[in-house]
């Protein structure tokens, strides 16, 4: 085992993985992932919301063996966790998307590729990682959306994820303050502060020159990554509406998921439009600052949907016990985004595998201490209520 794998194995929590990523990455790159919109209120509340739920431990008659497996949209997974879509994962580690997808497959969970991946969706599919999901947007040029959907179908993706909360792009002020650009260019103070970041710079020396938005190669601006990053917000259509959902549903024959739902009525309407699952999400606090924390929005959506489709959740999942709390409140599974980027920065595929192992170990322990041996037994009974 190499030095870096040994270092990774000494990381025992997601907070420690984040700290490792902070040490490794240049500040503008670390902040690009870590930051949120405006005052970062929603970013913070996504994590804080979990602290308002206490688990009631019932350690008698428990077992250390827990069955964490679930079936989601017709596929079996080893635990209720999915790697969520993140644009430019390849900025954090060479070949980032494929490393993360391989880690997900090795750990028996689904991986969702972002529209803005560095590799193309076909290149990712060639890894044969599964289950694999593809995330798309609605563009002003609807034929471009159709093209992405058709490519995902041809490349054998297992599910399509339409993200609806990014049509107007949020103001991420850390990026503005840092002068973050795509591709990154480092200012003199950044460069002076980079003595500790040389291993990352050395590792990424070739990659930084080749970073691209792989799935956008048809656009003239894609010849230059900088040009592409600049025009991306203008490609997205703020007038996204339910007819778009209808059109995509008609085109895509597999499981169809909408990401970015916070209102119970939107979840119910999605059902009416033939959507197979929703992701309760505020884009990790990167879009509408002051938006409700995803965990706080979850119970209302669970109630309105009333078991008619799986409800997924992302935002602020940093511990295995957070998966248990979300599950107790009615989520079928959760997605993580930033933690896998921290894993990538810390150690590529090995780093992401370690991230997933941390969630698995913590969830197993939390379930054991709560006296449940399978996820089927998890209910709101696990959560402390004043009347207990
Ligand atoms: C660097 C970064 C890039 C992201 N890119 C995308 C994207 O391309 N598509 C998308 O639907 N969500 C994207 N997201 C949002 C995540 O999928 C997710 O909703 C959010 O980060 C919440 O999870 P977290 O708290 O575990 O990070 C991105 C998030 C980050 C941090």
pLDDT in tens, 177-210: 998 888 787 777 777 777 788 888 888 888 887 7
Facing residues of 334 across strands?
Answer: 81, 313
CA dist 185 → 171, 175, 209, 324 (Å):
20, 12, 11, 41
Task: Give the whole-angstrom CA distance, residue 160 versus residue 148.
Answer: 10
311 vs 7, 182, 258, 326, 334, CA distance in Å?
Answer: 36, 34, 10, 10, 9
Q: Which atom of ligand 1 is nearest to the CA of 279?
A: 19
User: Is 184 within the bounds of a domain?
Assistant: yes
CATH, residue 61? 3.20.20.70
Closest residue by Cα to atom 23, ligand 1, is: 315
**Res. 158: pLDDT tops 90:** yes
Active site residues: 283
Q: How many domains does the chain have?
A: 1
Indicate whether 222 pLDDT > 70: no
pLDDT score recorded for residue 208: 84
Structural tokens at position 165: 């909360």
3-state SS class at 71? strand
pLDDT above 90 covers a percentage of the chain that reads: 82
Mutate to test the pocket of ligand 1, among 81, 116, 121, 284 (most ligand atoms within 8 A of CB): 284
pLDDT single digits (tens) 103-140: 999 999 999 999 999 999 999 999 999 999 999 999 99
Taking alpha carbons only, the member of 303, 311, 141 closest to residue 216 is 141
How would residue 223 be classed by pLDDT, with cut points 50, 70 and 90?
low
Which atom of ligand 1 lies at the shortest distance from residue 282's CA? 19
Q: Is residue 388 very low, low, confident or very high in pLDDT (cuts 50, 70, 90)?
A: very low
Tell me whether residue 379 is in a domain. Answer: no
Nearest to 91 by CA among 200, 226, 16: 200
Ligand 1 centroid to Cα of residue 377, in Å, is 30
Q: Please give the average per-residue pLDDT across 36-46, as a whole number.
A: 98
Ligand 1 centre distance from Cα of residue 100 (Å)? 14
Q: Is residue 264 part of a domain?
A: yes
Rounded distance between C-alpha atoms, residue 86 and residue 33, angstroms: 9
| Residues making up the chain, counted from first to last | 388
Pairwise CA distance, residues 35 & 40, whole Å: 7
Instruction: Kindly report which listed range (3-7, 22-26, 311-315) carries the lowest average pLDDT score.
Output: 3-7
Tokens of 321: 């016990």
CA distance 345 to 127: 20
- CA–CA distance, 113 with 12 (Å, rounded to integer): 26
**91 in a structural domain:** yes
Residue 206 within a domain:
yes
Q: Is residue 253 part of a domain?
A: yes
pLDDT band at 232 (very low <50, low <70, confident <90, very high): confident
**Residue 36 Cα, ligand 1 centroid: separation in angstroms?**
10
Instruction: Output the CA 344–ligand 1 centroid distance in Å.
Output: 15
Q: Read off the pLDDT band of 61 (50, 70, 90).
A: confident
Nearest atom in ligand 1 to the alpha carbon of residue 46 is: 25
Tell me the average pLDDT across 27-48: 97
Pocket residues: Cβ below 6 A from ligand 1: 32-33, 46, 84-87, 114-116, 135, 163, 259, 281, 283-284, 286, 314-317, 336-339
Q: Is residue 17 part of a domain?
A: yes
Residue 130, token pair as written in the block? 């599964």
Answer whether residue 385 is part of any domain.
no
Range of the domain at 352: 3-369
Report the pLDDT value the prediction gives residue 194, as an integer from 0 to 100.
78
For CA atoms 243, 168, 34, 344, the dihedral sign is: positive
Joined tokens for residue 24: 């490794």
């Amino acid at each position: 085992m190499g030095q870096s794998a040994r270092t990774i194995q000494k990381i025992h929590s997601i907070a420690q993985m984040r700290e490792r990523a902070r040490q490794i990455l240049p500040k503008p790159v670390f902040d690009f992932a870590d930051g949120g919109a405006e005052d970062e209120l929603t970013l913070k509340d996504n994590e804080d919301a979990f602290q308002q739920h206490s688990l009631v431990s019932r350690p008698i008659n428990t077992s250390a063996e827990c069955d964490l497996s679930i079936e989601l949209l017709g596929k079996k997974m080893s635990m209720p966790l999915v790697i969520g879509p993140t644009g430019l994962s390849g900025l954090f580690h060479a070949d980032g998307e494929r490393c993360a997808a391989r880690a997900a497959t090795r750990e028996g969970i689904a991986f969702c590729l972002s529209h803005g991946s560095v590799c193309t969706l076909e290149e990712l599919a060639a890894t044969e990682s599964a289950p694999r999901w593809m995330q798309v947007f609605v563009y002003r040029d609807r034929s471009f959306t159709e093209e992405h959907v058709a490519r995902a179908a041809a490349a054998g993706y297992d599910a399509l994820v339409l993200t609806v909360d990014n049509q107007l792009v949020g103001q991420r002020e850390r990026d503005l303050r840092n002068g973050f650009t795509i591709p990154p260019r480092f200012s003199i103070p950044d460069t002076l502060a980079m003595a500790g970041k040389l291993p990352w710079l050395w590792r990424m020396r070739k990659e930084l020159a080749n970073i691209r938005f792989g799935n956008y190669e048809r656009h003239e601006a894609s010849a230059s990554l900088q040009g592409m990053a600049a025009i991306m917000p203008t490609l997205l259509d703020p007038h996204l509406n339910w007819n778009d959902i209808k059109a995509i549903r008609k085109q895509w024959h597999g499981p169809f998921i909408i990401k970015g739902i916070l209102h119970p009525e939107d979840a119910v309407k999605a059902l009416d439009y033939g959507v197979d699952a929703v992701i309760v999400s505020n884009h990790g606090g990167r879009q509408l600052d002051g938006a409700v924390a995803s965990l706080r929005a979850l119970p209302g959506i669970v109630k309105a949907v009333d078991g008619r489709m799986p409800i997924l959740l992302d935002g602020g999942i940093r511990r295995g016990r957070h998966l248990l709390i979300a599950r107790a409140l009615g989520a079928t599974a959760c997605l993580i985004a930033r933690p896998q980027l921290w894993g990538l920065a810390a150690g590529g595929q090995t780093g992401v595998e370690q991230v997933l192992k941390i969630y698995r170990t913590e969830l197993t322990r939390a379930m054991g201490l709560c006296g449940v041996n399978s996820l089927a037994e998890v209910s709101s009974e696990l959560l402390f209520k004043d009347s207990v």
